[in-house]
Amino acid sequence: MQALLIYFLTYFLSAHGSLTPMKIAVVSGYGSLEPEMQSQLQNSLNWFQSAFLVHKSSHPVQISDIYERIPEYQKFSSVLVQTPLHRQNIRIKGLKSLLEISDFTVFIVAQDPRRCAREPDLLAEALPIVLLPDTRFYYDLFRHETLHGLGYGLIVDKTGLTDKPSEKMTWHGANGVGHPENRHFLDFDNFALKAGKEHFGCSNMKGIPADGERKNHLNEYVFGNELMTTHLEPSGNIFSWISVGIIERTYNGDQQWYHINRTYITPEADQYSYGRNFGCVFLEKSCHEFIRFTEATKPNFKTAPFCSRNHKNVNLRYFYYFPIFHEFQMCYKLPNSQKLYKISDKGCEMRRVIGGTDNGGQQRECPIIKHLPPMYEIVQCPPPPGG
Ligand SMILES: [Zn+2]
């Protein structure tokens, strides 16, 4: 199969008028993707049209802009256009009226595999399309890439107002030995920071931790299954209130480009639970420090997916004057199921967790609960029979 790279073109100059659902289209000179991918692409376009409200631009993209930016499109006499509702081949001249209606147009370009080999970051973006056949994954991949196309993590704050300096810090490993690490923050964080403070329960949160010096993504270690981290989970990724804040604040000039439809996005954004109320120590220190600190200060707090003694609950009762410690095992269950699975000490493994992309990726070795599914709820196991 041909490797594909998605190319984005959009202009948001002197927008005016009222807010309307964003009209979005994908244009390909190379025909349709594989049927399942193409339909997930269409689903992702539906998501954008429902979630994003924009002002109409008074300077739509011209065909000449496309020929200049993507010269290979000069050779096509017709192209395939995918919108949230339709899929249709049109003459290249018909693009003019499409570009006038569309607020945002994505152009699919052929990708030279040799270029992927030269640029490892391109490889990361282009290869999953070829290798991973999970349908939900395509939906998230198209959402992730299109959000970049809209400017998420790629446009920099020209005013420098939201640009935060990187920080040096020390993380302590399982053996207590400290090693230096760098922390970077995304631009355009002033809406997202409020959501971040609430989510992590850290009112002193300094900024939105980024993947590295290039500040293209949310940090994988901190944000887990969020849609805009460096790695997509095959089982599903969530567009959180933090990403809502980043994309709404992503604009230069004096007018906001994107407004998110809160009614539409709430059911998804409210599902985001990774790291909820983990506190400032989680954001600033190693997983080992986070686990130890939480065990010492909040013995009932669940640190999953990180292993902790806290997942064993000890219940103290008295028989006359004698204390009796009753140990409860913690379990987890899947969202739409009542079946319980035990979390045992043996079910813990040291796993490398991706922190960022600096120096080939900051790696953290963290104790993670084995076989924990991506969506779960931690509950108390039922007491053993007769206990
Ligand atoms: Zn990305």
149-178: per-residue pLDDT in tens?
Answer: 999 999 999 999 999 999 998 989 888 888
* Residue 123 counted as domain residue: yes
* Ligand 1 centroid – CA 139 distance (Å): 14
Q: In angstroms, what CA-CA distances link 139 with 37, 85, 227, 234, 385?
A: 8, 16, 11, 10, 45
Residues 145 and 197 in one domain: no
Please write the tens of the pLDDT for every residue from 117-142.
444 444 344 433 444 456 788 899 99
* Residue 289 counted as domain residue: no
* Ligand 1 centroid – CA 230 distance (Å): 6
Please write the tens of the pLDDT for every residue from 83-115.
999 999 999 989 999 999 999 999 988 755 555
Is pLDDT of 7 > 70?
A: no
Residues 180 and 301 in one domain: no
Residues 177 and 222 in one domain: yes
* Ligand 1 centroid – CA 143 distance (Å): 10
Residues 113 and 177 in one domain: no
Residues 247 and 110 in one domain: no
> Which pLDDT score, from 0 to 100, does residue 145 have?
92
Residues 15 and 143 in one domain: yes
Supply the range of the domain harboring residue 329: 294-380
> Which pLDDT score, from 0 to 100, does residue 274 have?
94
Band of residue 116 on the pLDDT scale cut at 50, 70, 90: very low
Residues 173 and 106 in one domain: no
Task: Please report which helix (H) or strand (E) contains residue 28, including its range.
Answer: strand 24-28
Residues 239 and 199 in one domain: yes
* Ligand 1 centroid – CA 8 distance (Å): 13
* Ligand 1 centroid – CA 348 distance (Å): 30
> Which pLDDT score, from 0 to 100, does residue 59 have?
82
> Which pLDDT score, from 0 to 100, does residue 245 have?
98
Residues 130 and 47 in one domain: yes
Residues 14 and 136 in one domain: yes
* Ligand 1 centroid – CA 115 distance (Å): 18
> Which pLDDT score, from 0 to 100, does residue 111 have?
59
Residues 103 and 130 in one domain: yes
* Residue 344 counted as domain residue: yes
Please write the tens of the pLDDT for every residue from 45-64.
999 999 999 998 878 888 99
Number of domains in the chain: 3
User: Domain end: 89, 119, 149, which one?
Assistant: 149
Is pLDDT of 266 > 90?
A: yes
* Ligand 1 centroid – CA 176 distance (Å): 34
Sign (positive/negative) of CA torsion 92, 25, 145, 55?
positive
* Ligand 1 centroid – CA 315 distance (Å): 46
Please write the tens of the pLDDT for every residue from 292-342.
999 999 988 989 999 888 887 655 566 677 666 666 677 888 877 888 887
**Reduced to 3 states, what is the DSSP secondary structure of residue 158?**
coil
Q: Are 3 and 42 in contact (CB under 8 A)?
A: no
* Ligand 1 centroid – CA 324 distance (Å): 53
* Ligand 1 centroid – CA 224 distance (Å): 14
Band of residue 3 on the pLDDT scale cut at 50, 70, 90: very low
* Ligand 1 centroid – CA 263 distance (Å): 26
* Ligand 1 centroid – CA 145 distance (Å): 6
